[in-house]
Structure 1
Amino acid sequence: MADAHTAHHPGHHSGSSHGSVGSYLTGFVISVLLTAAAFGIVIAHGFSPAGTLAAIAVLAIVQVFVHLVFFLHMNSSSEQRWNVMAFAFTIMTVFILILGTLFIMHDTAINMMSR
């Protein structure tokens, strides 16, 4: 007797979109290229330290979007709207948390040095 949660019914869609093998391979190749580019930037010493950090940050942001699109299948379709909104809320919360922490640490350091 098959479990109702694991049984596969032809034509039954659970609302989630699954990528094709080609889509996964495309995402994998782009991810490998972005990772190799980041290693290449560091190994080549072609930028200043600040330029290297900025280049790696840009590559990391692009890598995040590649993963979101090719592996997590997030897009602007109506099925994904709640997932995109939840992701945006998470990003906003993390951004506020990091900025608040940096502000508090900086303010504390300034106040401790002045006394």
Structure 2
Amino acid sequence: MKLKHKKKKLQRAIGMLLLVATAYASQQVLATELIELGTLGGSTSFARGVSSNGDVVIGDSFTNGDVFIRAFRWSAANGTMTDLGTLGGDSSVAFAVNSTGTVVVGWAIPLLAA
């Protein structure tokens, strides 16, 4: 009798796991298009965040000569990548953006004294 009860509990638990896994899988959104964002003159760029509606992408890109990395904000509205600057240093990185794409969080490396 105990074995039957344990078997039923196990079957219910497996059924619940399958239900949760199915619900999770159905919420996944598949990309329908790959968009080339470009670079800030260098060979490579890295996307690190995207706004909730997908209109803004942030990240960092190598500049000309691949020496420095600069934070960028790409906008679907005009399809351009904007250099976010460095606060006076050599390099910067953007690693988060808010849901509307209006606030970007990152860091900048200050110039080293010669």
Give the TM-score normalised by structure 2.
Answer: 0.26
Q: Which has the higher contact order (CA 8 A, sep 6+)?
A: 1
Higher strand proportion (structure 1 or 2): 2
Higher helix proportion (structure 1 or 2): 1
Structure whose CA Rg is larger:
2
Give the TM-score normalised by structure 1.
Answer: 0.26
